[in-house]
Amino acid sequence: MPHHVRTLIIGSGFAGLGAAIRLRQDGRNDFLVLERSNEVGGTWRDNTYPGAACDVPSHLYSYSFALNPDWSRSFSAQGEIQSYIVSVADKYGVREKHVFGCDVTGARWNADRAHWEVDTNLGSYTADFVISAVGALCEPALPDIKGIESFTGEIFHSAQWNHASDLRGKRVAVIGTGASAIQIVPAIAPEVAHLDVYQRTAPWLLPRMDRAYTAPERFAFKYLPGFQRLSRAGIYAMREAQVVGLAKNPKFMKPLELIARAKLRAEVRDADLRAKVTPNFQIGCKRMLISNNYYPALGRDNVDLVTDGIAEIRENAVASVDGTVREVDAIVVATGFHVTDSPTFETITGRDGRTLAATFEEIGQQGYKGTTVANFPNMFFLVGPNTGLGHTSMVYMIESQINYVADAMRTIDRSGLRTVEVRRDAQDAYNRDLQDRLSASVWMNGGCASWYLDKHGNNTTLWPGFTFEFRSLTKNFDLSAYDTSNVARGADIIELADEKKTDEKKVAAR
Ligand code: N01
């Protein structure tokens, strides 16, 4: 018999861990967190490439209930963020709720029993509720470049950095110039013999206002009541101001573009290189990047920026479309993630027997309030459709979603419900409104292709407004948008309770 729990959480990054802590705080201890790796942290555990750091200030990029007065810098590096996440897991006592090394291979809704059946490499589980917290940036996307499999040197994705590989003194190619690549390039350029950076689209770069906190500041964060919250609120407000230009009226992006152009002029003195790195779309259309050392790295004698496009990869070289063949010992693939086409969508099968992938294939990656999807009863998605951001902390959005899920659980208990499934008409109306709002945004009008858009050209990843609007939208679980016909009958409840008691005993005995 599979082990039954009331709630299964899949994934233990900021989202899954936050959900676990909230369930525990709400006294809902009948849950487990299935985590494929052996540690919490999600993307911050996995992305260990040289130079990895956050582009949102740490005092905002942290849980509201677990502020950290000890951040060493305004923008923390990966290691410090990962240590923070680990410390939160320990402090809130949810580590023992984790099943580490547990890779979820499938989840199916069983309508007769009104529960999810979840398969993993460690055995099967059943659960009344599933909280999918796998994240949007968890499945590395490898480029479909001719001959890539024939390369005999070191080749790895930025999110799967091979630390056993020593790049010092080697000829290296980096493919991609997104958020990951612009951190990797300056970090490895001084060590490698030669570096070719393959750029398909030049990104916009803004200054990185990073600095170490002084001892008096850190003292104040720790001991001066309200100082850290005030600082956090200030960062939040400044970041939210960007929404006006990004989502409402792209004309207001102009000041940021002027800053970026001034930076470009100051940091790239060579006219040819400057022409190559000058973006050809409106700032904000793709994620705006921040760096003070990327342009200087491109100007180094041992670094070439290649913009001709890659024709093929050979045994020991990258050939560009102009016919130039550049020999390399190693290739770093910094080409992003499967966001709107995640392979995890294939593994979840809903009420009508169709997978999440098939459902999204038909209607696009749509959900309701970013958290529930019609045809997938009793399943909550954290960092679900249209919850992404280009300007501020995802942790804020995650906490909003967790509030919604927590209220859903309360409502379900209070109303004696067995299943909740968002109504398709409510979901459709929600998405019509979303797409309507997005139509004015720079993401749709800025003249770029980005991973924010799905193959139908819809923006199914980003939230089109202020994040406080999303917070307010997800404050209460709105039962009226859900199909609640499946109310547990008395007999079912008793039968179900008996089954669970038996299963719980088995889990306890494990
Ligand atoms: O990936 P990306 P990323 N041939 O998708 C290029 C977060 N993040 O890992 O622009 C050649 O942004 C592609 O070119 P183009 C953040 O949300 C945060 O860098 O599509 N090139 C692009 O240049 C970010 O947005 C931090 O034309 C190919 C690059 O590869 C997200 O993660 C740090 C190609 C991919 O850029 C993803 O960032 C790092 C091909 N076949 C990441 N395919 C923080 O600081 C793709 N490219 C918090």
Please check the confidence at residue 496 and state whether its pLDDT lies above 90: no
Confidence class for position 357, pLDDT limits 50, 70, 90:
very high
For the Cβ of 210 lying below 6 angstroms from any atom of ligand 1, the answer is no
Confidence band, pLDDT 50/70/90 cuts, at residue 493: very low
**Could you tell me the pTM of the whole model?**
0.93
Higher pLDDT pick, 471 / 508: 471
- Give the burial string for 138-156 (b: 16+ CB within 10 Å, else e): bbbbebebeebeebebbbb
Identify the burial level of 343 via C-beta atoms within 10 angstroms of its C-beta, where 0-12 means exposed, 13-18 middle and 19 or more buried: exposed
Tokens found for residue 260: 């970026």
181 lines ligand 1 (CB under 6 A): yes
User: Is 50 exceeded by the pLDDT of residue 147?
Assistant: yes
Q: Which residues contact 305 (CB under 8 A, 6 or more apart)?
A: 197, 199, 273, 276, 277, 298
Residue 490's pLDDT is what?
40
For residue 111, the CA-to-ligand 1 centroid distance in Å is 40
pLDDT for 504 beyond 70: no
Residue 93, Ramachandran bin (φ over 0: left; ψ between -120 and 50: alpha; else beta): left
- pLDDT in the model for residue 492: 45
Task: Output the pLDDT for position 41.
Answer: 97
Q: Whose CA is nearest to atom 35 of ligand 1?
A: 335
Q: Whose CA is nearest to atom 46 of ligand 1?
A: 335
In the predicted structure, residue 495 carries a pLDDT above the cut 90 = no
Residue with CA closest to ligand 1 atom 7: 179
What mean pLDDT is predicted for residues 157-164? 96
Query: Which of 38-42, 425-429, 447-451 is least confident?
Result: 447-451
Domains of the chain as residue ranges with CATH: 3-139+338-509 (3.50.50.60), 148-215+250-333 (3.50.50.60)
pLDDT tens digits, one per residue of 56-114: 999 999 999 999 999 999 999 999 999 999 999 999 999 999 999 999 999 999 999 99
Average pLDDT over residues 410-417: 95
Span 316-323, mean pLDDT?
Answer: 97
Q: Please provide residue 251's backbone torsions phi and psi, each rounded to the nearest 5 degrees.
A: -60, -30
- Specify the pLDDT at position 1: 84
* CB of residue 299 inside a 6 A radius of ligand 1: no
Q: Find the angle CA(86)-CA(380)-CA(115) to the nearest 5 degrees.
A: 110
**56 CA: nearest ligand 1 atom:** 48
